[in-house]
Structure 1
Amino acid sequence: MWRKWASIRHRTWFVDAALAAAVIAFTIPTTLIGYSFSLWGGTPGGPEIAIGVITAATMLVRRRTPWPAIVASAACACAAGQVVPMILAVFSMTAEHRVRRWQYVALALTVIYFAVDYVNPHTDHSVYLNIVRALTLIYLPAVVGTWVYAYRRLIRDLRVGVREREEVAASEERRKIAREMHDTVTHAVTTMVLNAGMARDTIEPGEIRDLTAAIEDKGVQALGELRELLTVLRREDGDLAEGSEAIVRLVGEARAGGLQIDLRLDVPPGGLPRQVSHACYRLVQEGLSNVRKHAPDSRVQVTCEVTGDQVAVSVVDTPNPAHAGGRTVRAAPSLGGGYGLAGIRERVCLAQGRFVSGPTPEGGFVLAARLPLRRPDG
């Protein structure tokens, strides 16, 4: 970026230096050979040369402010009869800046050009041709300069807009990766830690083998989901990993971990849009993970069913009176972060759905969403 900026600055400086050299080439030689003139008669050569050099120097600052070039070029035209600097000045006035009431400034320079051109002893004295030349060489460059200024501003705005859209897209992609990584890793690690704790407390070799096998299977499954996630992120047309069909497996794993779950699943196989199906899966996954952490002895109702043109999915836990005397199911450790519910809320919003979470009157907790089967604008 710095090299690009330095290259642009070097190029603009070269252009300004070339314009300054061109102004000197148009003014100094004609003065030295006695070809110059002024509106009020002959002027000494020294002042004409000084005015020409000053006018050339103003070309170097024309991008910062237009007024030195405008004033100096008008003085050069009146004192030496050289109108080329005035053409450059009037174009810079509108192409590099947006001078207020530039039309009046351009009109004043047009009048000066007309006067200089009319009294020039080396050209014709046709008023019509003088007016045409004045308008063509002074006012028209000013108008063209406004178009150039508008075009450059449009390009700058487009570049800024592209950068902003790229930043928004990159931010959304990071959030998507964070959601997927959180839901995949947190669920898997929570299950493995819970099974590891149960294996540590048991003394039955058969049960230990079953728990360690479950830990191994969960680790392999987590690695597979991460691999699928990376594959999706590398492909623009990639598909999301799990859908509502995997809710049965989630419930089975949770039951194996000691949770008491009732499942009501009424979703046609492959009948949900992929984004909606994946959001249902992640909501159930997050709900069961929260139950493991905060209410492992409660009774859980998992629901995922199609009603009309919507799918309703929820995880509701209710305190279980049968375990009032003491906890019988190990609670999974909380890994902190608090990003799970925020991620589910974002998923539901992206699918144009409604999300609800909070405590229930019975003392439990509900995690629910209603997702449309098709977008409202579709």
Structure 2
Amino acid sequence: MGEKRAGFVSWRRDEIVDALLATAVLGYTIPQTLLRPSAWFPVPPWLSILSAVVAALSLLVRRRTAWPSVVASVVCAALTGQGAALAAAAYSMAAESTVRGWRVVAGGLAIVYLLADYIAPQSGRMAFMSAFRAVAFVYLPAMIGNWERSYRTMVKDLRETMWLREEHAASRERRRIAGELHDTVTHAVTVMVLNAGIIQDNEDPGEIRKLARNIEDKGMRALTELRELLTVLRRADVPASAAGLEAIAPLVAEGNATGLQVTLHLDVPGGLLGRQAEHACFRVVQEGLNNVRKHAPGAPVRVDCEAYGDVVSVSVVNGPGDPHESFPADHLVRSGFGLIGLKERVNLVGGWIMSGPTPDGGFALTARIPCLPPAASPRPPAVSGR
């Protein structure tokens, strides 16, 4: 309940401030007018109260335009002899930058306050004191409003500058990592391709085993280096060429061609998800099929990707596999970035993911991805490895 209240206050902060400012003007002006009438000329009480109400209501639009509050505050001062509305109008027009020549307008409002204060019966007709109060109660609030606006602008500029610096630093780091990836992959793949070519023309079993071990060692070393780079490479954005929903059907067809038994149900209208969310859906299916290849080859698999209202559900469910067909444990490369990396990717688009065994001995990987960008932090998902 407290979080909802805090969210509402943050969302409606400007409206709440405007309402409180209008209430303060009413709370000061009306009692003073009823207790000590000090208008420039005889005015019915109801008209004085009406002018105060109009001046207070005009402050509700002060962020869009200043002139309603300026004019209403002048009329209110003339009919009530009170300057609270003048002070609020002067502050608002400078703080919100709704009047280009705010100094001139603030000076005019200060003169109006000076006249209202000088004519008031209880002022003692002291021009010096009236002028001092006009500067302190009208022109000074305008200056404070201008300082506040300058401060907000400075903070905004600093945030934008900081963001640009962070982007430049991230860009340099990505370029460095891209170079590391290029060097690692190019060298490893080149050596592996050369060794594979030598194997094709070699008939010595001992030499073939030696070359094969060299290929395996080079591949494992390359994967280790890539895994180390992945620990520092975590990006929320994806390139435009990243696979999306359209790549799920070819991915399933590829799985069937390599020995899996996969059925697909894909029912998501085009344009419902952003590119990053579509890529997350693709990665869920890809990771699910990879897990089946490792842990349950030969098991029937069902891939479902459907839209339910404003959420897209993606699931990869397989039945129990034949344990005799599983890959040997020492041949599996355990990078540690399977379900963990998938969890991070789904979290970035505001979704959640869970995985675990099914009652019939199979395994299920399920994700829920919202169609719209998340307004708040997604709830923590439950992820369990195989």
CA deviations over 1:33-84 (Å, ceiling 9, x no partner): 3632322x11122322221111110121112222211111111001111101
Match of 1:216 in 2: 216
Contact 2:66 2:98 in 1 (8 A): no
SS of 1:122's equivalent in the other structure is helix
Contact 1:26 1:84 in 2 (8 A): yes
Decide whether aligned partners of structure 1 residues 151 and 232 sit closer, same or farther in structure 2, where only a CA change above 3 A counts: closer
In structure 2, how many angstroms separate the alpha carbons of the residues matched to 1:158 and 1:7?
A: 25
Compare CA radii of gyration and give the structure with the larger one.
1
SS of 1:56's equivalent in the other structure is helix
Q: Which runs of 5+ in 1 are unaligned?
A: 235-378
Decide whether aligned partners of structure 1 residues 69 and 231 sit closer, same or farther in structure 2, where only a CA change above 3 A counts: closer
Decide whether aligned partners of structure 1 residues 130 and 122 sit closer, same or farther in structure 2, where only a CA change above 3 A counts: same
Match of 1:168 in 2: 168
Deviation at 1:105, TM superposition (A): 0.6
Match of 2:195 in 1: 195
**Range moving further from structure 2, 219-228 or 167-176:** 219-228
In structure 2, how many angstroms separate the alpha carbons of the residues matched to 1:201 and 1:230?
A: 37
Letter in 2 for 1:53: V
CA deviations over 1:162-192 (Å, ceiling 9, x no partner): 2222223223323322221222122202221
In structure 2, how many angstroms separate the alpha carbons of the residues matched to 1:187 and 1:134?
A: 79
Match of 2:63 in 1: 63
Contact 1:199 1:211 in 2 (8 A): yes
Structure 1 segments of 4+ aligned residues over 6 angstroms from their partners: 2-5, 231-234
Letter in 2 for 1:11: R
Match of 2:138 in 1: 138
Letter in 2 for 1:38: A
Match of 2:306 in 1: none
Deviation at 1:218, TM superposition (A): 1.7
Deviation at 1:224, TM superposition (A): 4.3
Give 1:13-162 correspondences, 5 Å limit. Answer: 13-31=15-33, 33=34, 35-39=36-40, 41-97=41-97, 99-162=99-162
In structure 2, how many angstroms separate the alpha carbons of the residues matched to 1:187 and 1:226?
A: 13
In structure 1, how many angstroms separate the alpha carbons of the residues matched to 2:62 and 2:24?
A: 15
In structure 1, how many angstroms separate the alpha carbons of the residues matched to 2:78 and 2:138?
A: 15
Deviation at 1:150, TM superposition (A): 0.6
Deviation at 1:17, TM superposition (A): 1.0
Contact 2:48 2:76 in 1 (8 A): yes
Contact 2:32 2:82 in 1 (8 A): no
In structure 2, how many angstroms separate the alpha carbons of the residues matched to 1:230 and 1:54?
A: 62
**Range moving further from structure 2, 187-196 or 82-91:** 187-196
CA deviations over 1:229-266 (Å, ceiling 9, x no partner): 457779xxxxxxxxxxxxxxxxxxxxxxxxxxxxxxxx
Deviation at 1:205, TM superposition (A): 2.0
TM-score by length of 2: 0.55
Letter in 2 for 1:90: A
Higher relative contact order (Cα pairs below 8 Å, separated by 6+ residues): 1
Query: Cα RMSD over matched residues?
Result: 2.6
CA deviations over 1:69-103 (Å, ceiling 9, x no partner): 11111110011111011111101111121622211
Decide whether aligned partners of structure 1 residues 80 and 55 sit closer, same or farther in structure 2, where only a CA change above 3 A counts: same
Letter in 1 for 2:133: R
Contact 1:110 1:135 in 2 (8 A): yes
CA deviations over 1:264-298 (Å, ceiling 9, x no partner): xxxxxxxxxxxxxxxxxxxxxxxxxxxxxxxxxxx
SS of 2:121's equivalent in the other structure is coil
Match of 2:268 in 1: none
Contact 2:29 2:84 in 1 (8 A): no
In structure 2, how many angstroms separate the alpha carbons of the residues matched to 1:143 and 1:4?
A: 31
Deviation at 1:204, TM superposition (A): 2.2
Decide whether aligned partners of structure 1 residues 65 and 171 sit closer, same or farther in structure 2, where only a CA change above 3 A counts: same
Deviation at 1:153, TM superposition (A): 0.5
Match of 1:8 in 2: 10
Identity %: 48
Contact 2:38 2:119 in 1 (8 A): no
Deviation at 1:7, TM superposition (A): 4.1
In structure 2, how many angstroms separate the alpha carbons of the residues matched to 1:4 and 1:204?
A: 75
Decide whether aligned partners of structure 1 residues 202 and 96 sit closer, same or farther in structure 2, where only a CA change above 3 A counts: same
Contact 1:94 1:102 in 2 (8 A): yes
Contact 2:185 2:222 in 1 (8 A): yes
Contact 1:74 1:86 in 2 (8 A): yes
Give 1:230-245 correspondences, 5 Å limit. Answer: none
Q: Which runs of 5+ in 2 are unaligned?
A: 235-386
Deviation at 1:226, TM superposition (A): 3.2
In structure 1, how many angstroms separate the alpha carbons of the residues matched to 2:36 and 2:232?
A: 76
In structure 2, how many angstroms separate the alpha carbons of the residues matched to 1:178 and 1:47?
A: 74
Letter in 2 for 1:107: G
